[in-house]
A = this chain, B = another copy of it.
Amino acid sequence: MQEQTASSRQIVTRAGFASEAAGVLARVRAQSPRVHCITNSVAQNFTANVLLAFGAVPSMTLSPAEIGAFVKRSNALLVNLGTFGTERREATSIAVDAAIQSGLPWVLDPVFVDRAPPRASYARDLLFLHPAAMRLNADEFAALAGTAATAEAVAAFAREHRVAIGLSGAKDFIRDGARAVTLENGDPLMAKVTAMGCAASAMVAACLAVEVDALIATASALLIAGVAGEIAAASAQGPGSFAVNILDALHTLDADALKARARIVL
């Protein structure tokens, strides 16, 4: 069971978790993990810039002829289902195989599975290949799990699929089979910039490259994204300047600001 693995640590206090997240941030910057991203063309540029601002190194090729080589030279993989077609699925299959063979963690972002049934069925297939984490919103969870995203349903789903789940919304809920963290950071402007969720999923992948505990990695990524979003919103005039500011905030965020601003509910 997931909660019994050696990598799974207890989360006892809010300050303790904030320190864990600060450690993850420091390791991303120190190690500059390579994150290969399978993501849609709407999200590619912003996702790459978020990863660079965070301290990671993105690559984005989708060509079946070379994606395996890229993944093997990476430290984590993001699989986002946006804009999926035949070639995209072939590339995904090769990339996940390469990640499994190389022992790399990977993240599933089942974006818009609530809008197109074939996407939900494909996402369910991918879950059997054991992503370390999955980030999605409540509507996407409901389409995937066939039940509303209650705390119990999410925990049950996490336990069944042995996956850390990051449920984004006005608050972020992060759960695995045994533990739960709720984050109250963020800003409504985050929903007014396209690909913000996709970029957060890429940050989860970057954190998994430096933190073996998938729940801590997922919660750290979403905490850092939420705090950067708050900092960005403070001086934004709207969604345009907000998108610029959040890249600046990710680049300059330090451990003290992260700890001071973190609003964590255990």
Q: Is A217 engaged at the interface, CB distance under 8 Å to the other chain?
A: no
Check if B44 sits within 8 Å of A42, measured CB to CB: yes
B115 touches A70 (CB 8 A): yes
Q: From residue A112, how far is it (CB to closest CB) to chain B in Å?
A: 7
**Cα-based distance from A49 to B194 in the complex (angstroms):** 6
Q: Is the CB of B112 within 8 A of A61?
A: yes
A239 contacts B66, C-beta separation under 8 Å: no
Contact yes or no, A248 B239, CB < 8 A? yes
Q: Is the CB of B248 within 8 A of A49?
A: no
- The verdict on A87 contacting chain B, using a C-beta distance below 8 Å, is yes
Beta-carbon contact of B48 and A112 below 8 Å: no
Most-contacted residue by chain B among A88, A117, A193, A194 (CB, 10 A): A194
Is there contact, CB below 8 Å, between B243 and A49? yes
Kindly state the separation between the CA atoms of A88 and B237 in the bound complex, as whole angstroms: 36
Q: Which of A40-55 contact B (CB under 8 A)?
A: 40-46, 48-49, 52-53
A41-B44, A60-B83 known; A247 vs B240 contact (CB < 8 Å): yes
Any chain B CB within 8 A of the CB of A82?
Answer: yes
Distance between Cα atoms of A87 and B87 in the complex (Å): 11
Measured CA separation A9–B85 after assembly (Å): 43
> A193 and B70: CB pair below 8 A?
no
Shortest C-beta distance, A140 to chain B (Å), equals 13
A63 at the interface (CB under 8 A from B): yes
> Interface 1/0s, chain A 58-75, versus B by CB < 8 A?
111111111001100100
B247 engages A53 (CB within 8 Å): no
Contacts of A87 in B (CB 8 A): 85
B-facing residues in A103-132 (Cβ within 8 Å): 112, 115-119
Q: Which residue of B lies closest to A74 (CB)?
A: B115
- Closest partner residue, chain B, to A73 (CB atom): B115
Does A244 sit within 8 A of B, measured CB to CB? yes
Do the beta carbons of A194 and B48 come within 8 Å of each other? yes
Decide if A64 touches B85 in the complex (CB within 8 Å): yes
Find out whether the CB atom of A239 lies under 8 angstroms from the CB atom of B247: yes
CA distance A169 to B247 in the complex (A): 23
- Sample 5 A-B pairs with CB under 8 A, ordered by A number: A59-B115, A70-B112, A239-B251, A240-B243, A243-B247
Beyond contacts A40-B61, A69-B116, A70-B112: 8 other A-B pairs, Cβ-Cβ < 8 A, are A42-B48, A48-B194, A64-B85, A239-B247, A240-B247, A241-B244, A243-B244, A244-B244
